[in-house]
Chain A
Amino acid sequence: MSINIDEILKALSDALRDRILQTKSLRPEKTCIQVEAGAHKDAVKVLLKQDGNAGISAITGVDLGEKIELMYHIRICGTIITIGTIVSKENAKIESITDLIPGANFHEREVSDLFGVTFEGHPNPKRLILPEDWPENVFPLRKDVTAANFQSKTQISGASKDHERVSNGEKLVNIVLGPQHPALIEPEKFSLKVDGEIVKEVAPRIGYVHRGIEKAAESRTYLQNIYLVERICGICNACHATCFCQTVEAIMGVNVPPRARYLRTIILELNRIHSHMLLLGHAGLEIGYETLFHYMWRDREPVLDIMEELTGNRVITSFITIGGVRRDLKEEAISKINAGLASLKKKMSFYRQLFENDSTLKMRTRDVGVLSKQDALKLCVVGPVARGSGVDMDVRRDEPYAAYNEIPFRVITYDEGDAWARLMVRLGEIVESINIIQYALEHLPSGPYRIRVPRIVPAGEAIGRVEAPRGELFYYVKSNGTAYPERVKVRTPTFANIPAFVKIAEGGNIADVPASFVSLDPCFSCTDR
């Protein structure tokens, strides 16, 4: 793997030559190639030539004062290579790469909204995060917007323009899913244009519950930020905390003790189990199978009990801290956890039979919302959505963190690419998670469960990636040598997966929209941050 990366870096060097300004390190062991403005697109082309399956993981903007640094984090050969470039604030323009990587669409629109960079050639340069009536030339993540002047800078008129409204006389009827009615109990909006029962167009709009968490992180200490990022999403809070902490630990050069890494693995897999079970039950509800919903959620309760045993909390566990975990696992709890997991494993075989054999369930999920492998790669989807389309990617295996490099497990993939395959991936992953936890409990090393770290973090930059239940979770942290981070960037899995929903819903049936949608396991609390 490292040899391959060196070859890629050499190819970049050969192709761009003196347009590479410098090479800097992003912890841990990542490379950022800084290029001239305008050369970034050529760099992306080189990367795509080296690995046709390369995709965008995130685009990070950083305010450098008079300039803005843009970093394209390209996922390639299971790792990340970052292409960085700098534009001036006065002329913040750069060429779009969406024509090369369609999955970059949302990322570019987001940076455009929050940093004010214009991506020339972007196919749909509309607002993504900010409300329609947000004042011009106010960009929240720039440093000139502060807590003190935020109110005066952002006087919102309240007269909202709805660009997705269908004009009168058109044949297509406008059907809205969300954000203000019960057909979609999530604060996001998808305008569907339907012809009879067939969906012709889908226009997503996110940002209704954007809480400015990245901005808020810049005015809190690292320890306070753990509390903050845990509440990005209640369901996968352990993943957010772990990802943030290990990114900060990478800047500090801290080595987490082995016992702590095992305990982190346990809590991460418990997170995955209960997240997947929540989703599978919800999938039943969305296709009118309420009994499945009740059964699955009933069987999820013991998982929450295990989390309570381990951490004292059932959902938002507040278990992870910088340098390790906050509590140790008592020996007597291990047998309880093992008993609960063994019981759950038996139940999962019942559910597997149900998902494989129930005729009405199959009629509603088979060949519904099909996402081909090629489209999955182009749109840069992550997690079970990608694995359900035959894309074999998993951060736990590709770049092991916590204790994953010491624990054997299988990565579950299906090739069908339909809603059923995506649900089956999660079903299989629950069993694998149980196996991982059992292995971790059996091989739990002794020793300290945390080390104390200083409040001040030395200057540096780091990237962290974690396989959350919904897919790859990406963090970028830049420190400036104080107790407050310079920049915290969060890219959640659903943010990467929403463009795929547009792809799979168009051409389908209205009734299939909830089934397709739920199979993506969307989490808008995550998405909006």
Chain B
Amino acid sequence: MSFDLDFLFRVLIFPGFTFILFFTMFCDWVERKIEARMQNRMGPTYTGPFGVFQPFADFVKLLTKEDIVPFNVKNFAFKFTPIFSFSIFVFSFVFLPIDGANIIFNSNFEGDLIIVLTLVSIANFFIFLSGWSSMNPYSAIGATRVLTQFLGYDIPLFILALAPAFLAKSLSFSVIAANQNVPFVFMIPWAFVLFIITLQAELEKDPFDVPHAETEIVGGYETEYTGRRLAFLKLAKDVQIVLGAAIVVELFLGGPYGPTFYGPSAFWYTLWFTLKLLAVVALTEYLKCVFARLRIDQVLVVNWKVLLPLAFISLAAAVGVSLWFNLLR
């Protein structure tokens, strides 16, 4: 059997694992810089040019720290849930076109949108397990909040994601992205706004960073983690942020597609994808800086009483838009 070098390259190097990893760290740097400048601070400055290597340095530093496992934790769950959640988030990228094609060629299929959203829910469940298995009261409260907040917001997220799916008449990321002659953000802007708000809760950013509220419960589910396990837990969160932004790009901003110029189209598609994703990251970071943290009961009120009804209304409105556009043809 001959190895398909192109396959390995795409999966392991670009636009696969390595690219995702370093792009995640770059996005982390972008986030830190934006937050710092909004708060009259410099942010990372000294590690590499403009401090761009700081997230990588932090990751390596955590890897070298002592890995402490408290004696009364539930061993298997405590040890492996960080790597599980990280793996699931990374794997979800397989279904998103980044350079105009999926990481694994022709791996898209009808319904992969549902698969990705389900994978995100499963990964959140593993994050819950990481806190629950820590046998620490602060971790337990944080884990409970994870379960309450993430599983609650998964529902409006899913409903809001159906709006672009309906417009594109497909449940596949590739098809949805390819069918946006006009980015859906301009056709159903209300769905985009609601999706960003819901995403803020999914990504655990202000005003929804309740599960790890450090001034209340130390670090929530992260409290008992050290060393390389903490490194992967934090990396999982960072990958989740990039994945969330990538989903927004695919559903509302036309995916990797945009005007192409001289050279291979894959280059321009990757560039467009990157720029759009950074714009979404910047938007979520801006929102983080201008809000205080809510309480968990306020988070739930926002979910069940505001976002969920609005999500249904948004879907109905998207159906109306779709029908209207059909009438025009």
Q: Give chain A's interface residues, CB within 8 Å of chain B.
A: 173-175, 181-183, 194, 197, 284-295, 298, 358, 360-361, 363-364, 509-514
**CB within 8 Å for A509 and B289 given contacts A173-B137, A288-B209, A514-B215:** no
Residues of the A chain whose Cβ atoms lie less than 8 Å from the Cβ of B293: 287-289, 360, 364, 511
Q: Are A285 and B137 in contact (CB-based, < 8 A)?
A: no
B216 contacts partner chain A, Cβ-Cβ < 8 Å: yes
- Of A175, A286, A509, the residue contacting B215 (CB under 8 A) is A286
Question: Interface-forming stretch among B244-252, B267-275, B294-302?
Answer: B294-302
Q: Are A510 and B137 in contact (CB-based, < 8 A)?
A: no
Q: Are A183 and B215 in contact (CB-based, < 8 A)?
A: yes
Interface string of B110-149 (1 = CB under 8 A from A): 0000000000000000000000000001101100000000
Residues of the A chain whose Cβ atoms lie less than 8 Å from the Cβ of B38: 291
B217 contacts partner chain A, Cβ-Cβ < 8 Å: yes
Residues of the A chain whose Cβ atoms lie less than 8 Å from the Cβ of B206: 288-289
B40 contacts partner chain A, Cβ-Cβ < 8 Å: yes
B316 contacts partner chain A, Cβ-Cβ < 8 Å: no
How far is it, in angstroms, between the C-alpha of A509 and the C-alpha of B295 when the chains are bound?
8
Q: Are A290 and B39 in contact (CB-based, < 8 A)?
A: yes
Q: Are A288 and B213 in contact (CB-based, < 8 A)?
A: yes
Q: Are A364 and B294 in contact (CB-based, < 8 A)?
A: yes
Q: Are A514 and B39 in contact (CB-based, < 8 A)?
A: no
How far is it, in angstroms, between the C-alpha of A514 and the C-alpha of B292 when the chains are bound?
13
B12 contacts partner chain A, Cβ-Cβ < 8 Å: no
Residues of the B chain whose Cβ atoms lie less than 8 Å from the Cβ of A181: 218
Q: Are A360 and B291 in contact (CB-based, < 8 A)?
A: yes
Q: Which of B273-326 contact A (CB under 8 A)?
A: 289-298
Could you jot down 20 A-B contacts, CB within 8 Å? A174-B137, A175-B138, A183-B215, A197-B296, A288-B291, A288-B293, A289-B293, A290-B35, A291-B39, A291-B289, A293-B39, A294-B41, A360-B207, A360-B294, A363-B292, A509-B297, A511-B210, A511-B213, A511-B216, A512-B295
Given contacts A363-B295, A509-B297, 9 further A-B contacts (CB under 8 A): A173-B140, A175-B141, A194-B141, A287-B293, A294-B39, A360-B207, A364-B295, A509-B296, A511-B210
Q: Are B292 and A358 in contact (CB-based, < 8 A)?
A: yes
B214 contacts partner chain A, Cβ-Cβ < 8 Å: yes
Among B206, B209, B215, B291, find the residue whose CB has the most chain A CB atoms closer than 10 A. Answer: B215
B286 to chain A, nearest CB (A): 10
Q: Are A363 and B298 in contact (CB-based, < 8 A)?
A: yes
A358 to chain B, nearest CB (A): 7
B177 to chain A, nearest CB (A): 34
* Smallest Cβ-Cβ distance to A185: which chain B residue: B215
Residues of the B chain whose Cβ atoms lie less than 8 Å from the Cβ of A284: 292
* Smallest Cβ-Cβ distance to B298: which chain A residue: A363
How far is it, in angstroms, between the C-alpha of A69 and the C-alpha of B290 when the chains are bound?
56
The 3 A-B residue pairs with the shortest CB-CB distance in the complex, in nearest-first order: A288-B293, A289-B292, A294-B39
A455 to chain B, nearest CB (A): 48
* Smallest Cβ-Cβ distance to A284: which chain B residue: B292
Q: Are B291 and A289 in contact (CB-based, < 8 A)?
A: yes
How far is it, in angstroms, between the C-alpha of A121 and the C-alpha of B305 when the chains are bound?
51
Residues of the B chain whose Cβ atoms lie less than 8 Å from the Cβ of A194: 141
How far is it, in angstroms, between the C-alpha of A168 and the C-alpha of B134 when the chains are bound?
18
Q: Are A513 and B40 in contact (CB-based, < 8 A)?
A: no
How far is it, in angstroms, between the C-alpha of A288 and the C-alpha of B289 when the chains are bound?
9
B200 to chain A, nearest CB (A): 12
Among B140, B217, B292, B294, find the residue whose CB has the most chain A CB atoms closer than 10 A. Answer: B292
**CB within 8 Å for A295 and B295 given contacts A173-B137, A513-B216, A514-B215:** no
Residues of the B chain whose Cβ atoms lie less than 8 Å from the Cβ of A286: 215
Q: Are B209 and A182 in contact (CB-based, < 8 A)?
A: no
Residues of the B chain whose Cβ atoms lie less than 8 Å from the Cβ of A513: 216
- Of A175, A197, A288, the residue contacting B292 (CB under 8 A) is A288
Q: Are B292 and A510 in contact (CB-based, < 8 A)?
A: no
* Smallest Cβ-Cβ distance to A297: which chain B residue: B40
How far is it, in angstroms, between the C-alpha of A287 and the C-alpha of B290 when the chains are bound?
12
* Smallest Cβ-Cβ distance to A197: which chain B residue: B296
Among B140, B209, B216, find the residue whose CB has the most chain A CB atoms closer than 10 A. Answer: B216
